[in-house]
Amino acid sequence: MSEINRREFIKLLGAGAALGSGLFGSRAFGAAAPHVVVIGGGTGGATAAKYLKLADQNIRVTIVERNKEYVRCYGSNEVLTDHCTMDDLVIGYDALKDKYGIEFVFDEVVGVDPEKRRVDTAGGTRLDYDRLIVSPGIDYRWEAIDGFTPEVAETTIPHAWKAGPQTELLRRQIHAMPEDGTVVIAAPPNPYRCPPAPYERASLLAEWFKAHKPRAKILILDPKEGFTKDQPFMLAWNRLYGFNIPASHMEGMPDDVRQHDSGFIEWVPGTEGGKVTGVDPKTNTVHTANLDSIQGDVVNVIPPQKAGKLAFKMGLTNAQGWCDVDRNTFESRVHKRIHVIGDSCIADAMPKSGYAANSQAKVAAAQIVHMLRDEPLEEPLFANTCFSRANTEYGVSIAAVYRVRDGRIVSTPGSGGVSPLDAPPMANRLEALYQESWMRAFVEDTFA
Amino acid sequence: MNRKLLLHSVVLAGSLCAVGTATAESRISGEMMANACAPCHGTYGHLENEYMPPLAGMPEQDFIEGMKAFREGTRPATIMDRVARAFSDEEIEAMAEFYAQQTDGGDNE
């Protein structure tokens, strides 16, 4: 009872803070600072919290997160082929806590009241907020693939789409499979987290097979007719892994492209039977829309995706399963004072990538600071850059700079795009080095 | 004297014009743009021992000339040509001014 009284008291203090910010004008918030709560300590949430604090130390920022450490998805394909270990993917929250004064509650959110502006956790912590940022990531549409369940993914047919135990399971399966075995990768339909990752995964496996299981094969089943960086990837595969580039992707290819008798990677687009509709874990078989059944020694099905569970629980999603937001502020179109960033939000031309989440987080943080100070909003700008490795020494990239036009996020005309097909070998080497640097610099910008 | 005055007015008109253009087409702050660059070039341009250059403290003119050369394709590039084509002169100048001011070693150091 006294606990509840104490909470009620804290709530009253919170109300005082809101009044104070109005009275004391733009920079000084008065004795009690405004409080921004961030649910989700992933890339979006961590970046938002850090940049709120960089903009104004007087804002109180609390991250509510289930896990005491973050395991990054970016770079997690490298675990499959021993370029790095699971430990290398782990990022601590100490810098955000100690250097920026961000508060952490390691707990599960059990309730959010958008009217009272209050977050409750399973452990009984209650947080009152002036603004709430949620960065819930993704969840899977299990129902889209017959026979596929979380249990199947955890035991037999891993998706390994969030770095964790399934990454380790897939690694073990790949290492244990026969010398002449086949890995089936079922790529998801758009939109999904980290668009180049299925193809980077195939690239890294091909590099590893070349050294360790030279008769192994990778079959990519794809519901799409193309994918991000498809031409640079395919050119690299042709040069490195005996991949035959389909006629649909030959435009602009350089003269050194060759026809090979056999290779490590085969890619089947949707119109040629690439859409996977079901799995049979007993026989490690996938069923396709063309009524084919394809058996693999290792089967990696990446299911279609939707906004993270929390977004659904909070009622923030639309009929398509994603969160509609004001593109200038990322404030939800459903609930006022709640901002949705990262993979869960609808951001038009932007991919669902860590870079995009980081970029959206900074814009949301900047606008929230303006809102708390009763200042006018500013014009946003976003970017995305992604380096993928075709092998350890051969990188490909995509880049774009985004603006808001007529209420939608668009790529700036005349800019951006993928690595040119006529790039000299030096450029591919450099892009592989940039990938290494990006990984460190990005983690630093987000978490440190 | 007259010539000098005339020149002065031209420069003044030019700068007014530039400000007018910037206001009409882009009000994006240097910091907002630099934040979008930070995943590769570091928070506020602070970066150590990486293959990408740090931008904090870069002399304004170096940044402006570098970005314009990337944009026009006169400087060899892997990725920066694609990125630089997104920015107007005024935006490049705003970024240059922001980065030139980041001389304190950075909040993230």
Query: Is residue A8 scored above 90 in pLDDT?
Result: no
Rounded to the nearest integer, the mean pLDDT of chain A is 94
Measure the CA–CA gap between A195 and A386, rounded to whole angstroms.
10
Query: Is residue B37 scored above 70 in pLDDT?
Result: yes
Q: Which strand (E) or helix (H) includes residue A131?
A: strand A131-134
Subunit contact A379:B28, Cβ cutoff 8 A: yes
Taking only the tens place, the pLDDT of each residue in A356-387 is: 999 999 999 999 999 999 999 999 999 999 99
Nearest to A355 among B33, B39, B82 (CB): B39
Q: What residues of B are in contact with residue A379 (Cβ under 8 Å)?
A: 26-28, 32
Residue A372 near residue A130 (C-beta atoms within 8 A): yes
Q: Which residues contact A171 (CB under 8 A, 6 or more apart)?
A: A79, A80, A82
- Going from the C-alpha of A410 to that of each of A30, A135, A340, A359, B89, the distances in angstroms are 39, 21, 18, 14, 20
pLDDT at B27: 87
Phi, psi (degrees; rounded to nearest 5) at B28: -75, 130
Q: What residues of A are in contact with residue B40 (Cβ under 8 Å)?
A: 385, 434, 437-438, 441-442
pLDDT at B104: 82
- pLDDT above 70 coverage of chain A, percent: 93
Nearest CA in chain B to A432: B51
| Domains of chain B in sequence order | 28-100 (1.10.760.10)
Same-fold call for A2-139+307-377 versus A143-303 = yes
Asked if A433 is an interface residue toward chain B (Cβ–Cβ < 8 A), one would say: yes
In terms of Cα–Cα distance, which of A246, A154, A166 is closest to A201?
Answer: A166
Q: What residues of B are in contact with residue A362 (Cβ under 8 Å)?
A: 32, 35-36, 38
For chain B, give me the number of helices (H) and strands (E)?
A: 5, 0
Q: What is the ipTM of this complex?
A: 0.91
Q: Give the CA radius of gyration of chain A.
A: 23
Cis ω for the linkage preceding A191 (within 30 of 0): yes
Give B 53-92 residues with CB within 8 A of chain A.
78-79, 82-87
Q: Are strands A285-288 and A276-280 parallel, antiparallel or unpaired?
A: antiparallel
Q: Which two tokens stand for residue A130?
A: 């002036």
Q: Tell me how close the Cα of A123 comes to any Cα of chain B, in angstroms.
A: 32
Reported confidence tier of residue A22, pLDDT bands at 50, 70, 90: very low
pLDDT at A32: 77
Taking only the tens place, the pLDDT of each residue in A301-319 is: 999 999 999 999 999 999 9
Question: Higher model confidence: residue A24 or residue A317?
Answer: A317
Q: What residues of B are in contact with residue A383 (Cβ under 8 Å)?
A: 36-37, 39, 83
- Architecture label for domain A143-303: 3-Layer(bba) Sandwich (3.50)
Subunit contact A355:B84, Cβ cutoff 8 A: no
Q: Tell me how close the Cα of B98 comes to any Cα of chain A, in angstroms.
A: 15
Taking only the tens place, the pLDDT of each residue in A55-84 is: 999 999 999 999 999 999 999 999 999 999
Task: Give me the residue spans of the domains in chain A.
Answer: 2-139+307-377, 143-303
Instruction: Report the C-alpha dihedral over residues A188, A189, A190, A196, rounded to 10 degrees.
Output: 40
Residues A187-221: b if buried by 16+ CB within 10 A, e if exposed: bbbebbbbbbbbbbbbbbbbbbbeeebeebbbbbb
Q: Are strands A217-221 and A182-186 parallel, antiparallel or unpaired?
A: parallel
Reported confidence tier of residue A201, pLDDT bands at 50, 70, 90: very high
Measure the CA–CA gap between A18 and A129, rounded to whole angstroms.
10
Rounded to the nearest integer, the mean pLDDT of chain B is 81
Q: What residues of B are in contact with residue A358 (Cβ under 8 Å)?
A: 38-39
Query: Is residue A116 scored above 60 in pLDDT?
Result: yes
Subunit contact A431:B28, Cβ cutoff 8 A: no
Nearest to A441 among B36, B42, B83 (CB): B42
* CATH (one of 3.50.50.60, 3.30.1180.20, 1.20.1050.10, 3.20.20.70) for A2-139+307-377: 3.50.50.60
Nearest to B39 among A400, A414, A445 (CB): A445
Taking only the tens place, the pLDDT of each residue in A122-173 is: 999 999 999 999 999 999 999 999 999 999 999 999 999 999 999 999 999 9
